[in-house]
């Protein structure tokens, strides 16, 4: 039986296959996120209600790694590990938002909640938001009226957050915390009546217990 011994002439083929393997592994490590772009940001006046929307602008539909990603601004960065999403991904959005946004009526459920320590996440006076090192969105001052967002293509306009499930909506973050309702006139009258009855009862009891001395 002949024993195979690699020759000098076979080395280019070995190098070729080794190079292919390295390329494949490198591609596998970065696949699944590289066509996701930062396309929309939104904030209220104090930055407690913010969202960042990603959009898969690719055509393969295989960018499922967005579920294990990271986001950064000038001041903050964080990552999440929710597992790969179910494809196809092309044309879909991925919503990253604060808990304050998630609590708004009609708000689509965020795919990722921004940690409280990172709120406000971006500077409303201008910032750069980057996703996983594959895309960045640099912007100037953004609307803070609680109604308009800032889109990477169209600029300012009515907010339109959308999550990966396809749920969308328009939120109103223009007001502050809800003030407690003022008591109604009937409630005030009822309280006054109760107080009056208590005073009358107290007076009657004191008169009954009064014993004049001779």
- Supply the mean pLDDT for the chain: 83
pLDDT beyond 80 at 110? yes
**Distance of alpha carbon 144 from alpha carbon 79, whole angstroms:** 26
Q: What is the pTM of this model?
A: 0.71
Short-list 6, 125, 133, 113, CA closest to 52: 113
Peptide bond into 17 cis (omega under 30): no
Is the domain covering 32-158 a CATH 2.60.40 domain? yes
**Considering the chain, what percentage of its residues have pLDDT values greater than 70?**
67
Strands of the sheet containing 70-72, edge to edge, are: 77-79, 70-72, 127-131, 135-139
**pLDDT per residue as tens digits for the range 58-85:** 999 999 999 999 999 999 999 999 999 9
To 10 degrees, the CA torsion angle through 54, 40, 51, 46?
A: 160
pLDDT value for 164: 99
| pLDDT given at position 209 | 62
């Amino acid at each position: 039986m002949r024993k195979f011994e690699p020759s000098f002439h076979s080395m280019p083929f070995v190098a070729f296959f080794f190079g292919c393997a390295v390329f494949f592994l490198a591609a596998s490590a970065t696949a699944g996120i590289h066509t996701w772009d930062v396309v929309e940001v939104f904030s209220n006046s104090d930055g407690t209600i913010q969202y960042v929307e990603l959009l898969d602008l690719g055509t393969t539909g295989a960018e499922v790694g967005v579920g294990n990603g990271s986001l950064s601004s000038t001041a903050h960065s964080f990552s999440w590990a929710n597992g790969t999403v179910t494809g196809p991904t092309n044309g879909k959005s991925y919503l990253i938002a604060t808990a304050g946004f998630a609590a708004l009526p009609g708000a689509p459920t965020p795919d990722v909640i921004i940690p409280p320590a990172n709120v406000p996440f971006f500077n409303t006076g201008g910032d750069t938001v980057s996703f996983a090192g594959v895309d960045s969105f640099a912007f100037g001052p953004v609307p803070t009226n609680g109604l308009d967002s800032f889109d990477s293509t169209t600029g300012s306009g009515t907010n339109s957050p959308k999550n990966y499930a396809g749920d969308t909506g328009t939120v109103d973050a223009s007001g502050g915390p809800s003030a407690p309702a003022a008591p109604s006139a009937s409630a005030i009258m009822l309280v006054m009546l109760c107080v009056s009855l208590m005073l009358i009862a107290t007076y009657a009891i004191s008169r009954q217990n009064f014993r004049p001395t001779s």
